[in-house]
Amino acid sequence: MAFTKIEDKYVSQKSHIKFHSSTPLEDIEANNYKAVSTVDASTGNVVFSVPMQSFEFEKALMQEHFNGKNFLSTKKNPKAKLIGKITNLGEVDFTKDGTYNGSFSGEMTIKGETQPITADGKITVKEGAFSLESTFDLTLTDYGIAFKKGKPSTNVAKTIEVTLIAEYAKQ
């Protein structure tokens, strides 16, 4: 059995996940500051756990629809998960201040549906800690979220933009 050195583990409890849906009728944006994440700098393993009911919307009705059974059913599916690896780990030096391009490959699970995901981002190392930033697109139907009629079918984009920003400190 292999053991990971504790100094290679970083934890983020300062994460911001934002999604943006844009249609000709309406832009919808939600923010979540409750996600937690870990990164193992020696293996590149990354895990995010996102409490879905913590997304905050400009309008209360949007938040109600988001959490409802016809959209994400967050009582039944309280968390989304992102699990994977930094695929270009050899190009990132977590011991040296600087900004590095990062590539990620893994799996995203939302509403019980798991799909492969790849994303690029920026890793900024400073004084023994680091931040991670990435923006990527998610297609809602990949996660069992589809609207065939009614207002959501025209007001919610089929593909949404997700922005992820996390600040990590050694565990």
The owner of tokens 């990062």 is 102
Query: Splitting the chain (171 residues) into consecutive groups of 10 residues, what average pLDDT does each group show?
Result: 63 95 91 97 96 94 87 93 97 96 97 97 96 96 78 76 96 86
Question: What is the C-alpha separation between 75 and 136, in angstroms, rounded?
Answer: 26
Q: Give the architecture-level CATH label for domain 6-170.
A: Beta Barrel (2.40)
- The pTM (predicted TM-score) of the whole model is 0.89
* SS3 call for 130: strand
pLDDT of residue 4: 45
Bridge partners (DSSP) of residue 98 are: 125
Q: Which residues of 102-121 are buried (b: 16+ CB within 10 A; e: fewer)?
A: bbbebebbbbeeeeebebeb
DSSP state of 71: T
pLDDT at position 19, please?
95
Work out the number of other CB atoms within 10 angstroms of the CB of residue 164.
23
The pLDDT value given to residue 3: 47
